[in-house]
Structure 1
Amino acid sequence: MEGDGFCFEDSVFTEPRDRSKGRGDLYKAKKCEPEWFTEETNSEDSGEVHTALKFRADLAYRQKDFEKAFSDYCDCFVLLPPNNTAMRRDVQESQARCLVHLGRYPEALRIASTLERGVFNTDHLTCSLNLQITIYEHIGNLGKLISCMHQLVSLHPFNGWIWKRLAELYLKAHGSAAEHVRDIDNVDLHAGETDEHFYAPANDGGKSLDLDHFSTQKDVDYCNKTLSEPSLGKNFTKRDLWMCSCASFIRARLLFQLVHSQQASFVLAKNLMAQEEIEEELKYFKLDEKIKKVVTEMMEWDLSSEHIKEEGCVDTKSTLALTSYRTPSDREFKDRWFKNIITLWS
C-alpha cells in the first residue's frame, strides 16, 4: 500500500495470530507443604531425595540437634553425584560445623583440609578459611587462628570487618603472650587419599569418619596439649603484636570511612558502630597524634580510588583470580603490612 509518500507493510493490516493454540498444558507449580522434607521420601528422583536430606539436616542444625544433623548430612553426601561440586562442598562444610559443635575437632579439621585442597576459586578458599577460623577459635589455637586471618586479609585487603577482627586477635595475643596456648601443629591435616570414604555412614548404623590415625587416646588428646610459648611467637614479639593491632584498627577504620557514604539503613548503622568501637580501642594505645597520623598514612598507601576499582574488577569465581593468589607466610604478611610501622617504633 502506497500513497502520498508513505509506505506500509501488508502485515500491519493482517489479523493477529492466536498464540494460545498449540501451547499444550499450562505449567503447574509444585506446591510443598511446610517442612515437607521431614517425612520419608520414596521418590525415584535422586535429586529430590538428597535435597530433602539436606533440608532435614539444615533444620536439625538450626534446632541445635548436631548429632542428627551430622547423620543426615552424611546420608546426603553419599547420594550426591561427583559433578555436583557446589552442593558437595556445602554439605562437607556443614558436616565440619556439626563436628565442631560435637567437640570432634580432628575430624572437622580433616574435612576443612579436604575442602582447602579442592578449591577452584577464591570464594571456595574464603569459605575454607572461614571454616578453619571457626575450628581454631573453638580449640583455642590463637596462632593458627591468626595465620588463617592473614590469608583471609590477603584475599580481601579492602574488607574492614576482617581487618577489625585481625586487630582484635592481635590484641588478644598480646594480652596472653605469656600464657600457655593450645597448639595442633603436630596434626597431619593432609593425610588420606580421597574424600569419598571419610563421610559415609558406618556399618553399625552410626555415623563416623574413617580416621584410623585419630583412633588412639594419644591422638585425640592433642587438643589439650600446651606449649610453653605460642606458635605465633616465631614471627611476632609481644611488642610487634601491640603495634600490629594498633595499625590494623587504623586500617579497618579507614576502610569503614571509605564506604560509609555509600551505605544506608542497618548497614550504615553497623559501620558507624564499628567505627565507634575502633575509636574506643585506639584510646587504649594512647598514641601521640603525630604517630597516629604517620601510621594512618602508612596503612592507606593502597586506598586510592584507582587501586580499589582495579581490585573490585577481579572476578572472585574465576580460576585466574585464584591462580594469581599465593598464600603468604606469617613472616611475609608481617613484612608487607607492618615492617615500616615496626621500624617506626624501633
Structure 2
Amino acid sequence: MEIFATFDDSVFLEARDRVPVTLSAYDAKVCEPQWFCETTALNTEDPLEKQKIYKFRGDLAVRRGNHQKALDAYSSCQEWISDNNLTIRRDVLEGMARCCTKLGQRGRALDFANLLSKEVSNTCHLTSLLLLKVSIYQHFGAVGPKMSALQQLCSLLPFNPWNWYNLGQACLQLLESDRTTERCESSEEQNDGGTEEQQEEAEELNENRIWLKACTCFIRTRLLLRILRQQQFSFVLQRTESALRMTDEVLQRLSPKETTLQALTEVVSEDLIPDKMREDNQDGDSLASVCVQSFRDRWWNKILLTGALEADGRQTRTQC
C-alpha cells in the first residue's frame, strides 16, 4: 500500500521564484513628553492629529484634577472625531460626564450619559453606562435613581457579587434617609387625608420592604462571594474575605429570623448552578429586557410571594 498515493505531485514541486520587494525608508516619529501641551502642536491640518491632541490634553487634565480644563479639552476634541470612530466618541462623552459630575453639574452629566445610551449596542456598553450613572447619582446623593441603575446592573450581570453588595448598601442608605424624613415630616403627615395611625402603618410597611430588599441583596452577595472564594488567591482572596465579614456583620444588624433567612436563601440561590455561572453565560438578559421592571419581576415580586416579610413580623428591624 502506497502511503502517499493520494497526494498530488504539485505538492512536492519547488516554490516559484519570488520577486524581492524593496521597502522604502521609514522614519519613526519621536515625540517629547507631553508634546501635545505645546502651543505649536495644533499647527496641523490633520483632523485625526487634532483629535489626539485635545484627547490627550483632557486626559492629562483629569489626572491632575483640573476638571474644567479637561471638559474644555474634551469639548474641542468632540469637534474633530470622525463619525465612524464610535470608540473615541464614547470615551470622550464619558469623560465629559465625569468632569461635569466633579464640577457639580448634574444636569449636564446626565445629558452626556443619555447621549451615550443612544449608542449602546452590547453588554459592555450598557455596563459602562450603568456604572457611569451609578457614580453620578452617588456623587449627588440620589439614592433612588442609584438603586434603579444598580438593579439593572444586577439583571445584566446576575453573578457579580459587588453589584449586589452595592445595591444592599443603597437599601441601607435609603432606610436611614426614610427614618430621617419620617421624623422631619411627621408634623405634615396629618394633612394627607388619612389618620395618623394609617400613615404610620404605611411607612412601617415601606421601611420593612426596604429592609427585606437589603437582606436579600446581602444574602445573595454572601452566596456569590463564597462560590468565588474557592478559586481565588492572594490579595483577591483577602478582598473577598473582607467583604464576607462586612456582609455577615450587616446581616447580623438586620437580624432576620431563621425562617426568613432560609426562605430568602432558597429564592436567591435557585440560579447558582456551576454550568450557568460560567463566564460565557454571564451576559445576563438581553439588552431589551434589562430594566427595573424585569428586575422586580425576577427578584422582588418572587421574594414577596414567599411571605418572608409577614413571617418576620411588621416591626422595624434596622439598627444600622
Whether TM-score is above 0.5 comes out as yes
Q: Counterpart of 1:345? A: 312
State whether residues 152 and 291 of structure 2, in contact with CA within 8 Å, keep that contact through their aligned partners in structure 1.
no
- Structural mapping, 1:164-313, within 5 Å: 164-180=165-181, 237-309=206-278, 312-313=280-281
CA distance, structure 2, for counterparts of residue 106 and residue 79 of structure 1:
25
State the shift of 1:161 in Å: 0.3
Q: Counterpart of 1:335? A: 301
| Larger CA deviation: 277-286 vs 244-253 | 277-286
Instruction: Describe the SS at the equivalent of 1:178.
Output: helix
State whether residues 137 and 145 of structure 2, in contact with CA within 8 Å, keep that contact through their aligned partners in structure 1.
yes
Alpha-carbon spacing, 1:76–1:45, altered in 2? closer, same or farther (3 Å): same
Instruction: Describe the SS at the equivalent of 2:270.
Output: coil
CA distance, structure 1, for counterparts of residue 267 and residue 300 of structure 2:
14
Q: Counterpart of 2:115? A: 114
CA distance, structure 1, for counterparts of residue 300 and residue 156 of structure 2:
15
State whether residues 160 and 224 of structure 2, in contact with CA within 8 Å, keep that contact through their aligned partners in structure 1.
yes
1:179 partner amino acid: T
State the shift of 1:92 in Å: 0.8
State whether residues 151 and 328 of structure 1, in contact with CA within 8 Å, keep that contact through their aligned partners in structure 2.
no
State whether residues 74 and 95 of structure 2, in contact with CA within 8 Å, keep that contact through their aligned partners in structure 1.
yes
Q: Counterpart of 1:139? A: 140
CA distance, structure 1, for counterparts of residue 11 and residue 294 of structure 2:
71
Deviations, residues 116-153 of structure 1 (Å, cap 9, x unaligned): 23311222222222222222222222111111111111
Q: Counterpart of 2:32? A: 33
Q: Counterpart of 1:92? A: 93
State whether residues 90 and 116 of structure 2, in contact with CA within 8 Å, keep that contact through their aligned partners in structure 1.
yes
State the shift of 1:344 in Å: 4.3
CA distance, structure 1, for counterparts of residue 132 and residue 238 of structure 2:
27
Deviations, residues 248-281 of structure 1 (Å, cap 9, x unaligned): 1110111111112222232222111111111221
TM superposition score normalised by structure 2:
0.77
Structure 1 stretches lacking a partner, 5+ long: 1-8, 182-227
CA distance, structure 2, for counterparts of residue 35 and residue 254 of structure 1:
48
CA distance, structure 1, for counterparts of residue 67 and residue 261 of structure 2:
47
2:293 partner amino acid: P
CA distance, structure 2, for counterparts of residue 115 and residue 10 of structure 1:
57
Alpha-carbon spacing, 1:326–1:305, altered in 2? closer, same or farther (3 Å): same
Q: Counterpart of 1:221? A: none
- Structural mapping, 1:49-88, within 5 Å: 49-88=50-89
Deviations, residues 282-308 of structure 1 (Å, cap 9, x unaligned): 221233445433322222111011322
State whether residues 152 and 162 of structure 1, in contact with CA within 8 Å, keep that contact through their aligned partners in structure 2.
yes
State whether residues 96 and 111 of structure 1, in contact with CA within 8 Å, keep that contact through their aligned partners in structure 2.
yes
Q: Counterpart of 2:197? A: none
2:233 partner amino acid: A
Q: Counterpart of 2:103? A: 102
Size of the aligned set, in residue pairs, is 286
State whether residues 251 and 300 of structure 1, in contact with CA within 8 Å, keep that contact through their aligned partners in structure 2.
yes
Instruction: Describe the SS at the equivalent of 2:42.
Output: coil
Instruction: Describe the SS at the equivalent of 2:277.
Output: helix
Cα root mean square deviation, aligned? 3.3
Instruction: Describe the SS at the equivalent of 1:169.
Output: helix
State the shift of 1:30 in Å: 3.5
Q: Counterpart of 2:199? A: none
| Larger CA deviation: 90-99 vs 266-275 | 266-275
State the shift of 1:329 in Å: 6.2
* Percentage identity across paired residues of the two chains: 34
State whether residues 147 and 330 of structure 1, in contact with CA within 8 Å, keep that contact through their aligned partners in structure 2.
no
Deviations, residues 228-261 of structure 1 (Å, cap 9, x unaligned): 89xxx99x81001111111211101111111122
**Could you say which structure has the higher helix fraction?**
2
State the shift of 1:61 in Å: 0.9
CA distance, structure 2, for counterparts of residue 322 and residue 83 of structure 1:
22
State whether residues 73 and 94 of structure 1, in contact with CA within 8 Å, keep that contact through their aligned partners in structure 2.
yes
1:247 partner amino acid: T
Deviations, residues 183-219 of structure 1 (Å, cap 9, x unaligned): xxxxxxxxxxxxxxxxxxxxxxxxxxxxxxxxxxxxx
State the shift of 1:330 in Å: 7.0
State whether residues 168 and 213 of structure 2, in contact with CA within 8 Å, keep that contact through their aligned partners in structure 1.
yes
Structure 2 stretches lacking a partner, 5+ long: 1-8, 183-187, 190-201, 314-320
CA distance, structure 2, for counterparts of residue 331 and residue 101 of structure 1:
32
State the shift of 1:101 in Å: 1.0
Deviations, residues 82-106 of structure 1 (Å, cap 9, x unaligned): 2111111111111111111111111
Alpha-carbon spacing, 1:273–1:315, altered in 2? closer, same or farther (3 Å): closer
